[in-house]
Amino acid sequence: MKKVVTIQDISCFGKCSTTVALPVISAMGVECAVIPTAVLSTHTAGFKGFTFRDLTEDIPAVTDHWKREGLTFDGLYTGYLGSPEQAAMIESFIDKIGPGYVFVDPAMADNGKLYTGFGPEIVAAMKHLCDRADIIVPNITEAALMLGVDYREPGTYDEGYIRDLAVRLTENGAKTAAITGVRYKDRPDEQGIVAYNRESGDFTEYFHENLPVSFHGTGDLYAAVMFAALILGKPLKDAMRIAATNVLNAIRATMDDPDYRYSVKFELCIPALIRMLGE
Protein backbone atom coordinates (compact mmCIF):
# COMPACT_ATOMS: atom_id res chain seq x y z
CA MET A 1 0.00 0.00 0.00
CA LYS A 2 1.22 3.49 -0.80
CA LYS A 3 1.88 5.80 2.16
CA VAL A 4 1.82 9.60 1.97
CA VAL A 5 1.79 12.62 4.24
CA THR A 6 -0.25 15.77 3.90
CA ILE A 7 0.78 19.04 5.55
CA GLN A 8 -2.04 21.60 5.81
CA ASP A 9 -4.39 23.07 8.41
CA ILE A 10 -7.24 21.47 10.30
CA SER A 11 -10.31 23.66 9.98
CA CYS A 12 -12.45 21.98 12.63
CA PHE A 13 -15.70 22.84 10.86
CA GLY A 14 -16.31 23.63 7.20
CA LYS A 15 -14.77 20.77 5.20
CA CYS A 16 -11.53 21.84 3.53
CA SER A 17 -7.81 21.02 3.70
CA THR A 18 -7.04 18.10 6.07
CA THR A 19 -10.67 17.22 6.82
CA VAL A 20 -11.18 16.60 3.09
CA ALA A 21 -7.75 15.19 2.22
CA LEU A 22 -7.65 12.55 4.95
CA PRO A 23 -10.99 10.82 4.24
CA VAL A 24 -10.63 11.06 0.46
CA ILE A 25 -7.02 9.85 0.23
CA SER A 26 -7.76 7.02 2.69
CA ALA A 27 -10.86 5.97 0.75
CA MET A 28 -8.72 5.81 -2.39
CA GLY A 29 -6.62 3.14 -0.68
CA VAL A 30 -3.59 5.27 0.19
CA GLU A 31 -2.37 5.53 3.80
CA CYS A 32 -2.31 9.20 4.81
CA ALA A 33 -0.28 10.65 7.68
CA VAL A 34 -0.87 14.29 8.59
CA ILE A 35 1.06 17.24 9.95
CA PRO A 36 -1.35 20.05 10.86
CA THR A 37 -0.02 23.56 10.17
CA ALA A 38 -2.67 25.27 12.32
CA VAL A 39 -5.96 24.46 13.97
CA LEU A 40 -8.86 26.83 13.23
CA SER A 41 -12.42 26.62 14.50
CA THR A 42 -13.57 27.10 10.87
CA HIS A 43 -11.89 28.08 7.61
CA THR A 44 -11.36 31.78 6.99
CA ALA A 45 -13.81 32.30 4.12
CA GLY A 46 -17.41 32.99 5.11
CA PHE A 47 -17.10 32.66 8.88
CA LYS A 48 -16.33 35.49 11.30
CA GLY A 49 -14.43 35.31 14.62
CA PHE A 50 -12.69 32.00 13.97
CA THR A 51 -9.99 30.77 16.35
CA PHE A 52 -6.48 30.17 15.03
CA ARG A 53 -3.80 28.12 16.76
CA ASP A 54 -0.48 28.32 14.96
CA LEU A 55 1.49 25.04 14.99
CA THR A 56 4.65 26.35 13.32
CA GLU A 57 6.97 25.12 16.05
CA ASP A 58 5.58 21.58 15.85
CA ILE A 59 6.70 21.04 12.25
CA PRO A 60 10.47 20.74 12.91
CA ALA A 61 9.74 18.66 16.02
CA VAL A 62 7.55 16.21 14.08
CA THR A 63 10.14 16.12 11.26
CA ASP A 64 12.97 15.25 13.63
CA HIS A 65 10.94 12.58 15.42
CA TRP A 66 9.94 10.95 12.12
CA LYS A 67 13.56 11.08 10.98
CA ARG A 68 14.65 9.27 14.17
CA GLU A 69 11.91 6.69 13.61
CA GLY A 70 13.09 6.18 10.03
CA LEU A 71 9.61 6.81 8.56
CA THR A 72 9.40 6.86 4.77
CA PHE A 73 6.72 8.07 2.36
CA ASP A 74 5.75 7.72 -1.30
CA GLY A 75 4.47 11.27 -1.51
CA LEU A 76 3.92 14.62 0.18
CA TYR A 77 0.96 16.93 -0.43
CA THR A 78 1.15 20.41 1.06
CA GLY A 79 -1.68 22.96 1.21
CA TYR A 80 -2.67 25.89 3.43
CA LEU A 81 0.12 27.00 5.78
CA GLY A 82 -0.25 28.63 9.19
CA SER A 83 2.68 31.04 8.61
CA PRO A 84 5.20 31.87 5.86
CA GLU A 85 8.01 30.35 8.01
CA GLN A 86 6.39 26.94 7.57
CA ALA A 87 7.35 26.86 3.88
CA ALA A 88 11.07 26.71 4.75
CA MET A 89 10.32 24.08 7.42
CA ILE A 90 8.60 21.95 4.78
CA GLU A 91 11.63 22.34 2.53
CA SER A 92 13.71 21.05 5.44
CA PHE A 93 11.20 18.17 5.83
CA ILE A 94 11.80 17.33 2.14
CA ASP A 95 15.58 17.36 2.68
CA LYS A 96 15.49 15.26 5.85
CA ILE A 97 12.74 12.74 5.07
CA GLY A 98 12.93 12.52 1.25
CA PRO A 99 9.16 12.03 0.97
CA GLY A 100 8.98 10.82 -2.64
CA TYR A 101 6.67 12.65 -5.03
CA VAL A 102 6.14 16.27 -3.92
CA PHE A 103 2.76 17.86 -4.74
CA VAL A 104 2.37 21.50 -3.68
CA ASP A 105 -0.93 23.37 -3.67
CA PRO A 106 0.13 26.95 -2.87
CA ALA A 107 -3.27 27.50 -1.23
CA MET A 108 -3.14 31.16 -0.25
CA ALA A 109 -5.44 33.17 -2.52
CA ASP A 110 -8.46 33.12 -4.84
CA ASN A 111 -10.58 35.52 -6.87
CA GLY A 112 -7.68 37.98 -7.17
CA LYS A 113 -7.01 38.26 -3.40
CA LEU A 114 -4.94 36.65 -0.65
CA TYR A 115 -6.99 34.76 1.96
CA THR A 116 -7.80 36.68 5.16
CA GLY A 117 -4.79 36.70 7.49
CA PHE A 118 -2.06 36.41 4.84
CA GLY A 119 0.31 39.24 3.84
CA PRO A 120 2.76 39.42 0.93
CA GLU A 121 5.40 37.29 2.77
CA ILE A 122 3.32 34.17 2.11
CA VAL A 123 3.73 34.66 -1.65
CA ALA A 124 7.55 34.60 -1.59
CA ALA A 125 7.54 31.66 0.83
CA MET A 126 5.12 29.59 -1.29
CA LYS A 127 7.05 30.45 -4.45
CA HIS A 128 10.24 29.07 -2.87
CA LEU A 129 8.46 25.90 -1.76
CA CYS A 130 6.97 25.44 -5.25
CA ASP A 131 10.50 25.31 -6.67
CA ARG A 132 10.99 22.01 -4.76
CA ALA A 133 7.89 20.34 -6.19
CA ASP A 134 7.31 17.62 -8.75
CA ILE A 135 3.96 19.28 -9.40
CA ILE A 136 2.28 22.49 -8.29
CA VAL A 137 -1.45 23.21 -8.66
CA PRO A 138 -2.02 26.97 -8.28
CA ASN A 139 -5.21 28.69 -9.31
CA ILE A 140 -4.82 31.75 -11.53
CA THR A 141 -4.71 34.17 -8.60
CA GLU A 142 -1.88 32.21 -6.97
CA ALA A 143 0.00 31.84 -10.26
CA ALA A 144 -0.25 35.58 -10.99
CA LEU A 145 0.86 36.51 -7.45
CA MET A 146 3.88 34.21 -7.56
CA LEU A 147 4.95 35.55 -10.96
CA GLY A 148 4.18 39.20 -10.18
CA VAL A 149 1.87 39.55 -13.20
CA ASP A 150 -1.67 40.92 -13.45
CA TYR A 151 -4.52 38.67 -12.32
CA ARG A 152 -7.16 38.33 -15.00
CA GLU A 153 -10.79 37.40 -14.32
CA PRO A 154 -12.18 34.06 -15.57
CA GLY A 155 -13.40 34.30 -19.16
CA THR A 156 -11.25 37.34 -20.07
CA TYR A 157 -8.04 35.72 -21.35
CA ASP A 158 -6.86 33.34 -24.03
CA GLU A 159 -4.68 30.25 -24.12
CA GLY A 160 -1.50 32.35 -24.47
CA TYR A 161 -1.97 33.94 -21.00
CA ILE A 162 -2.37 30.56 -19.28
CA ARG A 163 0.38 28.76 -21.18
CA ASP A 164 2.79 31.59 -20.40
CA LEU A 165 1.94 31.38 -16.67
CA ALA A 166 2.44 27.61 -16.67
CA VAL A 167 5.80 27.74 -18.46
CA ARG A 168 7.13 30.52 -16.22
CA LEU A 169 6.07 28.69 -13.06
CA THR A 170 8.41 25.83 -13.95
CA GLU A 171 11.46 28.01 -14.62
CA ASN A 172 12.91 27.72 -11.11
CA GLY A 173 12.55 24.04 -10.33
CA ALA A 174 8.94 22.83 -10.27
CA LYS A 175 8.72 19.99 -12.82
CA THR A 176 5.05 20.41 -13.71
CA ALA A 177 2.74 23.39 -13.18
CA ALA A 178 -0.97 22.60 -13.44
CA ILE A 179 -3.12 25.74 -13.41
CA THR A 180 -6.65 25.21 -12.11
CA GLY A 181 -9.91 27.07 -12.70
CA VAL A 182 -9.10 28.06 -16.31
CA ARG A 183 -11.91 29.65 -18.39
CA TYR A 184 -10.98 30.99 -21.83
CA LYS A 185 -12.82 33.96 -23.32
CA ASP A 186 -13.77 32.04 -26.46
CA ARG A 187 -15.04 29.02 -24.43
CA PRO A 188 -16.78 30.60 -21.40
CA ASP A 189 -19.02 27.56 -20.82
CA GLU A 190 -16.05 25.33 -20.05
CA GLN A 191 -13.68 25.22 -17.14
CA GLY A 192 -10.47 23.26 -16.96
CA ILE A 193 -6.93 22.63 -15.84
CA VAL A 194 -3.85 23.23 -17.98
CA ALA A 195 -0.55 21.56 -17.08
CA TYR A 196 2.94 22.09 -18.47
CA ASN A 197 5.81 19.67 -17.92
CA ARG A 198 9.20 21.28 -18.36
CA GLU A 199 11.05 18.00 -19.03
CA SER A 200 8.87 16.92 -21.97
CA GLY A 201 7.72 20.42 -22.98
CA ASP A 202 4.18 18.97 -23.22
CA PHE A 203 0.93 20.67 -22.27
CA THR A 204 -1.85 18.47 -20.85
CA GLU A 205 -5.39 19.85 -20.53
CA TYR A 206 -8.71 18.66 -19.26
CA PHE A 207 -11.80 20.81 -19.82
CA HIS A 208 -15.37 20.16 -18.68
CA GLU A 209 -18.71 21.92 -18.24
CA ASN A 210 -18.54 25.10 -16.11
CA LEU A 211 -21.24 24.90 -13.42
CA PRO A 212 -22.60 28.35 -12.53
CA VAL A 213 -22.04 27.99 -8.77
CA SER A 214 -19.04 28.07 -6.50
CA PHE A 215 -18.46 26.27 -3.21
CA HIS A 216 -15.65 26.59 -0.73
CA GLY A 217 -13.25 23.66 -0.42
CA THR A 218 -13.53 22.37 -3.99
CA GLY A 219 -9.89 23.28 -4.73
CA ASP A 220 -8.78 21.13 -1.80
CA LEU A 221 -11.03 18.26 -2.91
CA TYR A 222 -9.60 18.51 -6.42
CA ALA A 223 -6.01 18.52 -5.15
CA ALA A 224 -6.48 15.57 -2.78
CA VAL A 225 -7.97 13.34 -5.49
CA MET A 226 -5.46 14.37 -8.15
CA PHE A 227 -2.58 13.74 -5.74
CA ALA A 228 -3.79 10.29 -4.65
CA ALA A 229 -4.54 9.29 -8.26
CA LEU A 230 -0.96 10.25 -9.26
CA ILE A 231 0.42 8.29 -6.30
CA LEU A 232 -1.61 5.28 -7.47
CA GLY A 233 0.18 5.54 -10.82
CA LYS A 234 -2.53 7.18 -12.94
CA PRO A 235 -1.20 9.22 -15.88
CA LEU A 236 -1.48 13.00 -15.42
CA LYS A 237 -4.45 13.43 -17.76
CA ASP A 238 -6.41 10.64 -16.04
CA ALA A 239 -5.64 12.10 -12.61
CA MET A 240 -6.91 15.49 -13.82
CA ARG A 241 -10.08 13.95 -15.30
CA ILE A 242 -10.88 11.85 -12.23
CA ALA A 243 -10.32 14.81 -9.89
CA ALA A 244 -12.43 17.17 -12.00
CA THR A 245 -15.27 14.65 -12.46
CA ASN A 246 -15.36 14.01 -8.72
CA VAL A 247 -15.61 17.76 -7.99
CA LEU A 248 -18.44 18.10 -10.53
CA ASN A 249 -20.24 15.12 -8.94
CA ALA A 250 -19.84 16.71 -5.50
CA ILE A 251 -21.11 20.12 -6.69
CA ARG A 252 -24.13 18.47 -8.35
CA ALA A 253 -24.85 16.59 -5.12
CA THR A 254 -24.84 19.92 -3.24
CA MET A 255 -26.22 22.63 -5.52
CA ASP A 256 -29.90 21.83 -5.08
CA ASP A 257 -29.71 22.32 -1.31
CA PRO A 258 -30.32 26.06 -0.84
CA ASP A 259 -29.26 26.00 2.82
CA TYR A 260 -25.94 24.32 2.25
CA ARG A 261 -23.02 26.68 2.90
CA TYR A 262 -20.45 24.23 4.18
CA SER A 263 -18.35 23.14 1.19
CA VAL A 264 -19.59 20.27 -0.97
CA LYS A 265 -21.11 16.90 -0.04
CA PHE A 266 -18.02 14.99 -1.17
CA GLU A 267 -18.90 12.08 1.12
CA LEU A 268 -21.81 11.11 -1.16
CA CYS A 269 -19.46 10.83 -4.15
CA ILE A 270 -16.83 8.51 -2.70
CA PRO A 271 -18.39 5.31 -4.17
CA ALA A 272 -18.36 6.82 -7.69
CA LEU A 273 -14.79 8.05 -7.14
CA ILE A 274 -13.63 4.54 -6.25
CA ARG A 275 -15.40 3.17 -9.35
CA MET A 276 -13.60 5.71 -11.55
CA LEU A 277 -10.25 4.51 -10.19
CA GLY A 278 -11.03 0.98 -11.37
CA GLU A 279 -12.11 1.95 -14.91
Q: Which residues bind ligand PXL (CB under 6 A)?
A: 9, 11, 16-17, 40, 43-45, 80, 107, 115, 217, 219-220
- Residue whose CB is nearest to ligand PXL in the complex, by number: 44
| Distance separating alpha carbons of residues 135 and 143, to the nearest angstrom | 13
| Distance separating alpha carbons of residues 83 and 154, to the nearest angstrom | 29
Closest separation in Å from C-beta 113 to ligand PXL: 10
Q: Specify the residue, 107 or 177, whose C-beta has the smaller distance to ligand PXL.
A: 107
Q: Specify the residue, 11 or 254, whose C-beta has the smaller distance to ligand PXL.
A: 11
Neighbouring CB atoms inside 10 A of 74's CB total: 16
Closest separation in Å from C-beta 66 to ligand PXL: 23
Closest separation in Å from C-beta 158 to ligand PXL: 28
Q: Answer for the pair 130, 98: CB distance below 8 angstroms, yes or no.
A: no
| Distance separating alpha carbons of residues 76 and 5, to the nearest angstrom | 5
Q: Specify the residue, 17 or 254, whose C-beta has the smaller distance to ligand PXL.
A: 17
Q: Specify the residue, 170 or 191, whose C-beta has the smaller distance to ligand PXL.
A: 191
| Distance separating alpha carbons of residues 247 and 234, to the nearest angstrom | 18
Closest separation in Å from C-beta 101 to ligand PXL: 21
Closest separation in Å from C-beta 21 to ligand PXL: 10
Q: Specify the residue, 17 or 83, whose C-beta has the smaller distance to ligand PXL.
A: 17
Whose CA is closest to 180, among 79, 255, 60, 46?
79
| Distance separating alpha carbons of residues 142 and 149, to the nearest angstrom | 10
Distances (CA, A) of 73 to 84, 143, 225: 24, 28, 17
